[in-house]
Amino acid sequence: MRLTFYGAVESVTGSCFLLETAQGKLLIDCGMHQGERMCSTKNLEAFGFTPNAVDAVVVTHAHFDHTGRLPDVVKQGFAGKIFMTPPTKALTQLVLEDSVRVMAENARKCGDPVVYEKEDVPAMLERVVAVPYHHPTVVLPGVTVEFFNAGHILGSSFIRVSVKDAGEQKTFIFSGDIGNDDVPILPDTEARPDADVLICESTYGAKDHDPVAVREPMLADFVKKVIGRNGTVIIPAFSVERTQEVLFALDQLFQRGEITVVPIYLDSPLAIRATELYRFFHDYLSFTHPAAPGKDDDWFRFPSLTETLSTDASKVINDDVRPKVIIAGNGMMTGGRVLHHLARYISDEKSGVLIIGYQADHTLGRKIQNGVTEVNIYGEKHTVRAEVLTIDAFSAHGDQKKLTTFVRGSGVLPKRVFLVHGEGGIKEAFAEHLRTELGIAAEIPRVTQTYEL
Ligand SMILES: [Zn+2]
């Protein structure tokens, strides 16, 4: 068996791995590389493998850096089946349809590359087989996959791949992205089953987050402070998961009377539609955490919330001079409606930008998070005067402690552990931590590196 790492190796995005057995080739995730722009030109490069030689694809979850190149791999000749959980299928459709729109807009405005067109998305979706958690499924001769709940976003999974190859048997676990603990709207990550080989993300492998319990008080304090000085709070939010968690937190704060009722705008068609899917797939959400309301309540809607689906509805926000909260995508501020709001409020010292998600290197979000004094938005320079706060307790990723628990599993350690999804130095720091904590010699693959296993 051979495993090759094609993406999410020297950066966090572009997740893509190829497992080859004597009887077939299985691709695990096919994500977009993300950088300064939504699509870096890296996505125009050849895959490194031959798409029509791949026999099946499995997908861990719907985030763009795990699904973004699926239409492209089909366009380039892949003709097999693509396996993912039912919510992942529904969310992936939304995410990819939205990406087509954003790519077209970025191509028009900035000459950015278009990796695929509108019609490529349904052509890819025709190949998808939706498989719920805990349904072992044969995807290739001798290769069975099973999805386990990763607790990262709705429908997210880590995948166990069991391979029988020339009399040899091996199990692999691909972590996808592992979620944070105690997220109010999601069940916790399942315990990792035993496996021979673990491919583990390490996005936050070098640090621990504040506990989830501080997210609501910190959110309340920031909103109160900015609203109190007649400012506007901008929350750049990932449309899938973080937005629903913020809506849930605001709903809780309003219900408990901890913040005064102010207008809240959800200004993202993708987030509005994704929230509908969260309602539809509510059986995949958690109803067990203490903060969770009854099953019949709408977790994501409250009277002061306005959802602005159309562009015209969105423009109304500009006329609202009241203190307010605007939740808009995209989360790393590399495109989407949030840019218009940033252009309007980033130089206003009364206003605030609340960062609640991972900001990849070279993104506008990372620059603002790092405290730059001037930013460029749609070709215009803006001085940063708004207050910027990061609440990492909203992270959808497990921290070092959580990832270590995942690697430890039942205590039967994998024979080989490969670390992926971590920026410069983080994978190495996590590897060192695993060495001292668990006595594991984790390996850090390079791009296109192949291992015989
Ligand atoms: Zn993810």
In the reported structure, the alpha carbon of residue 175 is separated from the centroid of ligand 1 by a whole-number distance in angstroms of 10
On the question of pLDDT at 39 being above 60, the answer is no
Non-local CB neighbours of 214 within 8 Å, separated by 6+ positions: 391, 393
Average pLDDT over residues 96-102: 90
146 in the same domain as 57: yes
Same domain as 102, residue 222? no
Identify the residue with better confidence: 271 or 290: 271
Our count of domains for the chain comes to 2
What confidence tens digit (pLDDT) does each residue in 152-165 have? 999 999 999 999 98
Q: Write out the residue range of the structural domain in which residue 155 sits.
A: 2-207+396-452
Q: What rounded mean pLDDT belongs to the chain?
A: 91
Domain termination residue (choose one: 361, 394, 427) = 394
- Same domain for 281 and 194, yes or no, is no
**Predicted local confidence at residue 353, as pLDDT:** 98
The answer on 232 and 372 residing in a single domain is yes
Mean pLDDT (whole number) for 136-147: 97
CATH of the domain at 12: 3.60.15.10
Q: Domain with 356 in it: what CATH number?
A: 3.40.50.10890
| Residue 236 shares a structural domain with residue 371 | yes
Residues 241 and 132 in one domain: no
Based on the domain organization, do 197 and 319 belong to the same domain? no
Q: Ligand 1 center to residue 152 CA distance, Å?
A: 7
Ligand 1: distance of its center to the CA of 157 in Å? 10
Average pLDDT estimate for 14-32: 93
- Is the same domain home to 280 and 323? yes
The predicted pLDDT at position 334 comes to 86
| Domain-terminating residue out of 372, 394, 416 | 394
- Separation of CA 383 and ligand 1 centre (Å): 31
- pLDDT at residue 287, rounded to an integer: 62
CA 28–ligand 1 middle distance (angstroms): 14
Mean pLDDT along residues 306-311: 93
Q: How far is the CA of 33 from the centre of ligand 1 (A)?
A: 13
Give the distance (Å) from ligand 1 centre to CA of residue 240.
9
User: In terms of residues, how long is the chain?
Assistant: 453
- 175 and 247 share a domain? no
CA of 428 relative to ligand 1 center, distance in Å: 21
20 and 119 part of one domain:
yes
Q: What pLDDT digit, counting tens, does each position of 182-213 carry? A: 888 899 999 999 999 999 999 999 999 888 88
Q: What is the pLDDT of residue 12?
A: 59
Q: Give 75 Cα–ligand 1 centroid separation in angstroms.
A: 24
Cα 7 to ligand 1 centre (Å): 14
Mean pLDDT of 115-138: 96
Please report, for residues 3, 83, 172, 300, 340, the alpha-carbon distance to residue 453 in angstroms, rounded to integers and kept in the order given: 7, 24, 10, 46, 50
Across the strands, what pairs with 17?
5, 28
Q: Is the pLDDT of residue 243 over 90?
A: yes
177 CA distance to ligand 1 middle (Å): 5
Interatomic CA distance for residues 196 and 74, integer angstroms: 31
Share of the chain above pLDDT 90, in %: 70
From 351, 371, 394, give the residue that closes a domain: 394
What is the mean predicted confidence (pLDDT) over 39-65?
A: 86
Same structural domain, 300 and 364: yes
pLDDT in tens, 102-114: 888 878 877 777 8
270 and 254 in a single domain? The answer is yes
Give 184 Cα–ligand 1 centroid separation in angstroms: 17
CA of 118 to the centre of ligand 1 (A): 23
Could you tell me the two tokens for 170? 């091996």
Neighbours of ion ligand 1 (CB under 5 A): 63, 177
